[in-house]
Amino acid sequence: MAKQINENPWIKMWISPRETISAIVKRDPKYRFFWLSALYGLTLMFNIAQSFSLAERFSMVGVLLIAAVLSVFVGMIGISIGSLLVFWVGRWIGGKSSYDNIRAAVAWSNVTNVVNVFVWAILLGVFGNEVFLSGFSQKVFIGYESAVVFLVFLVQAVVAVWSFLILVKGISEVQGFSSWKALLNIVIPFVMVVIGLWFLGWLFFGLQGTVQ
């Protein structure tokens, strides 16, 4: 199995996530963590750039440079925090995996971001810096632009589902859980984060409204 990982971990994870993550954690849970963090961080930075309309303040080259410089750091932080939450919740429900192994499973679920990087490249090639405007997805597209956007959104949806399935299978393998219990191990931290963000938003805007 080690030989197979050396040859093609990026493809094998798509089709055999359980076997692949098992071999990876036996070899080295930190295997390719840097590059997986960079992939995740780059796509996350692109989404942030779009949400905050960075195209209004920076050129396309500027946005790309910012995303590239911060991608590894942002990716490592995001994966590490998410893995820590899964690790804690997993312990509550009987998980036996180490934090490093869980982080490996979370990191490798982002192997699908290889496709997302190409998708962003297509969007940038067709629309340029306009992609990094918050209103881009609400824009009315016509002609070939409409077809490009439809296909891009379709590919992103499929990739997101596939990534989630890889994550479930990976957590199931390292934790020794069934797929359903692994799903629970993932959903609980997600719900906790959503509730926490909602509470912070309510607290911030509630206090702001009181002050006014």
Which contiguous run of DSSP H or E holds residue 205? helix 179-211
Task: Give the separation between CA 154 and CA 146, rounded to whole angstroms.
Answer: 12
Q: Any idea what DSSP says for residue 16?
A: -
pLDDT tens, position by position, 85-135? 999 999 999 999 999 999 999 999 999 999 999 999 999 999 999 999 998
Task: Give the separation between CA 20 and CA 11, rounded to whole angstroms.
Answer: 10
Task: Give the separation between CA 120 and CA 191, rounded to whole angstroms.
Answer: 28
SS (H, E, C) 113-140: HHHHHHHHHHHHHHHHHHHHCCCHHHCC
Q: Which of 146, 108, 129, 131 is nearest to 30 (CA)?
A: 108
| pLDDT more than 70, % of the chain | 92
Whether 208 has a pLDDT exceeding 60, the answer reads no
Question: What tokens does 108 get?
Answer: 């490798």
The predicted pLDDT at position 84 comes to: 96
Average pLDDT of span 172-186: 95
Q: Which of 60, 7, 6 is nearest to 28 (CA)?
A: 6
The predicted pLDDT at position 2 comes to: 43
The predicted pLDDT at position 119 comes to: 95
Contact between 4 and 16 (Cβ < 8 Å): no
Average pLDDT of span 185-210: 77
* Domain map (residue ranges) of the chain: 2-211
The predicted pLDDT at position 202 comes to: 74
